[in-house]
Amino acid sequence: MAQSLEEDYIYSDDDDDDDADPNDYYGDECMEEDQEPVDEREPDPEHFDFKCLTVSEAKNFLDKQVQETCGKLKVDKRSAQVLLMAHGWIFSELEKRTEQDISNLLIEKGVRARNIPQVRKGGYVSSCSVCLQRKQPSDLKGLLCSHSFCKECWSKHFETLINNGIATDLQCMASDCHIGAPEEFVLSFLEEDSHRQKYQKFVFRDYIKSHYNLRFCPGADCSIVAYSEKPQSKRVDCIQCKTSFCFNCCGAYHAPTDCETVKKWLMKCADDSETANYISANTKDCPKCHACIEKNGGCNHMQCSRCKYDFCWVCMGDWKSHGTEYYECSRYKENPNIVNENAQVKAREALKKYLFYHGRWENHAKSLQLEAVTLANINKRIQEKVMKNEGTWIDWQYLLNAASLLAKCRYSLQYTYPYAYYLESGARKRLFEYQQAQLEAEIENLSWKIERAEKYQRGDLENQMAVAEKRRQTLFKDFFPT
């Protein structure tokens, strides 16, 4: 008994494992033969190597890069920082430029002055050309361009620009002078701690934003910086705030659709949402008895509470037709005669097509939200069962795993719609929509079974989980670039 308890712990820790049957309680005894060997030759298209760095780790990383560059190019720290920033912190890119001519590059980037600065003669009374106040020459400070201004003006100049979010781009005050102000120079004029902190925060932000391998986590108030050796449009899961985002565009994770397409899609949705909202209302009538039905669960397999008719919420058709291979409600049927129609018909057809995809996109987003409610219900049910001595808490964990797998699959399914919308008609689109339909059918089956978990055997549910995840992986293998 003690031994099997220990096994429970090992298995229940496995929450995030992507493989099928991750938490199989009876794994050793009865499921072994069913498990497929992991195929090593086919890489997981969603796999992505990244590291989550804290602010100080990121700073150390940048410092190390600066130091290495100082050594390799034989330049000072400031030059290395400016040059790295201008080349996305990719040393090989920078090296290509510096091989030709490093001193002109430093002049171009405002690190060095073009002309040898004239040395001002001291001794006479002079004034600051910004505030026009008389100053001792010793009170006038300047960068290597020899444009000198008083301490008060430098402070005000820097504070004003820092408040506008400018940090690494701070320059000399003279007009048309592009000599940059190094960090120590700026800090020497900032007296208030709040200004100093703000400035240093912005400098760090500028470094990260210009860095090819680093991204800020887009989570609210999250300070994590993600690092990847080979940046790609793949998923990053923040270890601190748990946000999932795309490393490339820092938007919400959107596989299998690419960054550009999803951006276009989201823009389109924002533009057309009024029409779409108007057309896709929140309630629908039962296709048989016309009772008004509000959807209160994630599953799209609906059963009218009045007439017990089973139908699909998406296409409003009989659910029976969804059981077979010919599940087609995720496929948009284009009008084959569209080329011969006039502009008005074409515009209507375009709107119809958009609304078709947008309706499904919205529907799965809503289902995803509603399944959060299901999850809360599952937790409640587990509590009740445990209190009634119907199995232990661990016994019921498979329900939570099922719910999290369902959320993952539905999320991917949601993001297949923008992909399909922009895919050109043809064999590839037909294959995509076939796989999408298969995935959708299995997801709805899973959702249905989870909502009615009491009526289904655990094995039945876990089998359904494996099938849904397999469908998801199949679609990703074919359509999401590795």
Partner 1 sequence: MSSGLPRRIIKETQRLMTEPVSGISAVPDEQNARYFHVHIAGPKDSPFEGGNFKLELFLPEDYPMAAPKVRFVTKIYHPNIDKLGRICLDILKDKWSPALQIRTVLLSIQALLSAPNPDDPLANDVAEQWKMNESKAIETAREWTRVHAH
The residues annotated with a catalytic role in the active site are: 299
Nearer to partner 1, 31 or 166 (CB): 166
Q: Is 383 near partner 1 (CB under 8 A)? A: no
Q: Is 146 near partner 1 (CB under 8 A)? A: no
Q: Is 130 near partner 1 (CB under 8 A)? A: yes
Q: Is 125 near partner 1 (CB under 8 A)? A: no
* Pairwise CA distance, residues 275 & 269, whole Å: 10
Q: Is 294 near partner 1 (CB under 8 A)? A: no
* Pairwise CA distance, residues 88 & 98, whole Å: 15
Cβ pair 371, 410 in contact under 8 A? yes
Q: Is 77 near partner 1 (CB under 8 A)? A: no
Nearest approach in angstroms of CB 408 to partner 1 is 45
Question: Cα-flanking dihedrals φ and ψ of residue 127, to 5°?
Answer: -135, 160
Nearer to partner 1, 56 or 164 (CB): 164
Among 93-101, 146-154, 259-267, 465-473, which window interacts with partner 1 (CB under 8 A)? 146-154
Cβ pair 30, 51 in contact under 8 A? no
Nearer to partner 1, 90 or 131 (CB): 131
* Pairwise CA distance, residues 129 & 117, whole Å: 18
* Pairwise CA distance, residues 100 & 303, whole Å: 73
Q: Is 215 near partner 1 (CB under 8 A)? A: no
Nearest approach in angstroms of CB 366 to partner 1 is 41
Nearest approach in angstroms of CB 107 to partner 1 is 19
Question: Cα-flanking dihedrals φ and ψ of residue 481, to 5°?
Answer: -65, 140
Query: 286 to each of 293, 310, 315, 363, how far by Cα in Å?
Result: 7, 9, 12, 17
Q: Is 131 near partner 1 (CB under 8 A)? A: yes
Q: Is 133 near partner 1 (CB under 8 A)? A: yes
Strand partners, 215: 226
Q: Which residue has tokens 């096994």?
A: 7
Nearest approach in angstroms of CB 167 to partner 1 is 15
HSE of 191 in the Cβ direction (CA atoms, 13 Å)?
5
Contacts with 44 (C-beta within 8 Å, 6 or more apart), sequence order: 18, 473
Size of the residue set binding partner 1 (CB under 8 A): 18
Angle subtended by helix axes 55-73 and 77-86, to nearest 10 = 100
Q: Is 365 near partner 1 (CB under 8 A)? A: no
* Pairwise CA distance, residues 293 & 306, whole Å: 10
Nearest approach in angstroms of CB 201 to partner 1 is 21
* Pairwise CA distance, residues 184 & 137, whole Å: 21
At 477, the amino acid letter reads K
Question: Out of 80, 82, 150, 153, which residue is the one contacting partner 1 (CB under 8 A)?
Answer: 153
Question: Out of 129, 232, 335, 404, which residue is the one contacting partner 1 (CB under 8 A)?
Answer: 129
Question: Sign of the C-alpha dihedral, residues 125, 128, 132, 133?
Answer: negative
Task: Show the site string, 161-180: x = touches partner 1 by CB under 8 A, - = not.
Answer: x-----------xxxxx---
Three-class SS state of 283: strand
* Pairwise CA distance, residues 442 & 170, whole Å: 57
Q: Is 193 near partner 1 (CB under 8 A)? A: no
Among 128-136, 212-220, 290-298, 383-391, which window interacts with partner 1 (CB under 8 A)? 128-136
Q: Is 160 near partner 1 (CB under 8 A)? A: yes
Write out the DSSP string of 289-352: T--EEE--SS-SEEE-TTT--EEETTT-SBGGGGSSTT--TTS----TTGGGS-HHHHHHHHHH
Nearer to partner 1, 1 or 132 (CB): 132
Question: Out of 20, 21, 135, 157, which residue is the one contacting partner 1 (CB under 8 A)?
Answer: 157
Nearer to partner 1, 132 or 281 (CB): 132
* Pairwise CA distance, residues 327 & 442, whole Å: 10
Nearest approach in angstroms of CB 78 to partner 1 is 22
Nearest approach in angstroms of CB 129 to partner 1 is 6
Among 88-96, 123-131, 184-192, 372-380, which window interacts with partner 1 (CB under 8 A)? 123-131
Nearer to partner 1, 27 or 180 (CB): 180
Nearest approach in angstroms of CB 134 to partner 1 is 9
Q: Is 147 near partner 1 (CB under 8 A)? A: yes
Q: Which residues here bind partner 1, judged by CB under 8 A? A: 129-133, 147, 149, 153, 156-157, 159-161, 173-177
